[in-house]
Structure 1
Amino acid sequence: MGGPIDGSVDGPVDGLADSRLRRLAVQFGKFGLVGVVGLVVDTAVVYALVFGAGLEFFAARVPAYLAAATTTFALNRAFTFRGAADAPLHIQWAKFLAANAFGGVVNYGVSVGLEAALPVAEAHPVLAVAAGSLSGMVLNFAASKHLVFKGA
């Protein structure tokens, strides 16, 4: 009597799960917004180094990734995972880079692979950079939440 048609019973455990899921979804959304800022930084550095300094795309991706990762670290620390246990800034930054290294390798591999294989990505590097960023996003979110910004 009083339960949903499917026979399940709503209770405090369901409410707790719903609130945790909502919080996770909000954090993931914030992480995605921060990622868009990181994508802009990443792309700007790639374009500056490829079209301004004459570097090859594969070489430009390394400093561009580091610039974007540093930007997203600062924004995620202040915005997405605010309230996490704070470690000293330089230690937390190093943990962020280390924890996101696998996602960074995936990001780099996808972007360089697309740029090398697709003429449209070679002509418009932002496409390769964006595909690389998206490919590493879920891995980086999990690593950031559970290894770097614990308790947020």
Structure 2
Amino acid sequence: MISQLLKFGVVGVIGFLVDAGMLYMLLWSSMGYLSGRCVSFLVAATTTWLINRRFTFTAGKHRSLPMEWLSYLLAMSAGGLVNFAAYQAVMSSFRYTAILPLCAVATGSIAGMIVNFVVAKWWVFRHPKKADLQH
């Protein structure tokens, strides 16, 4: 489990870079910081799903890809709510500077990571029970 948590953390860093990079691109194109964050979060969540299913939780591939992706997005919504709450708290608590969105994304990512790991491990990528495989 420690190995999976470390891999999940590495994938989380990649997700953070995708999230922050996409957010800055969207902010640069005049999208608002909340709507931009919704889009960047979805892109980052899809990226981390692809990497986690191949790198972190390889034994849990037992659903169709669309169902697993939807399960992952639903599961990540718990951590995503924590993530967005922390992001919004930072964005609304400090004077806007060019680095503020990056700090806010980092704060949100850290806040949501543990919730996301537990949900991913025990729901999205869980090993099916033998009885489940027989049906």
TM-score clears 0.5: yes
**1:42·1:129 contact (CA, 8 Å) conserved in 2?**
yes
How far is 1:83 from its partner?
1.4
1:85-124 equivalent positions in 2, closer than 5 A: 85-119=61-95, 122-124=97-99
What value does the CA root-mean-square deviation take over the aligned residues? 1.3
TM-score, structure 1 as length reference: 0.80
Q: What per-residue deviation string (whole Å, max 9, x for no partner) do you get for residues 49-97 of structure 1?
A: 112x111211111000000000000000000001114211010000001
- Looking at structure 2, the residues matched to 32 and 84 of structure 1 have their Cα atoms a distance apart, in angstroms, of 18
**1:57·1:112 contact (CA, 8 Å) conserved in 2?**
no
**2:20·2:105 contact (CA, 8 Å) conserved in 1?**
yes
Q: 1:71 aligns with which of 21, 36, 47?
A: 47
**Where do 5+ consecutive residues of structure 2 fail to align?**
129-135
Percent identical across equivalent pairs? 36
**Where do 5+ consecutive residues of structure 1 fail to align?**
1-23
**1:38·1:69 contact (CA, 8 Å) conserved in 2?**
yes
| Greater relative contact order, per chain length (Cα 8 Å cut-off, separation 6+) | 2
TM-score, structure 2 as length reference: 0.90
Aligned residue pairs: how many?
127
Letter in 1 for 2:5: F
CA radius of gyration, larger in: 1
How far is 1:133 from its partner?
0.4
1:41 matched to 2:18? The reply is yes
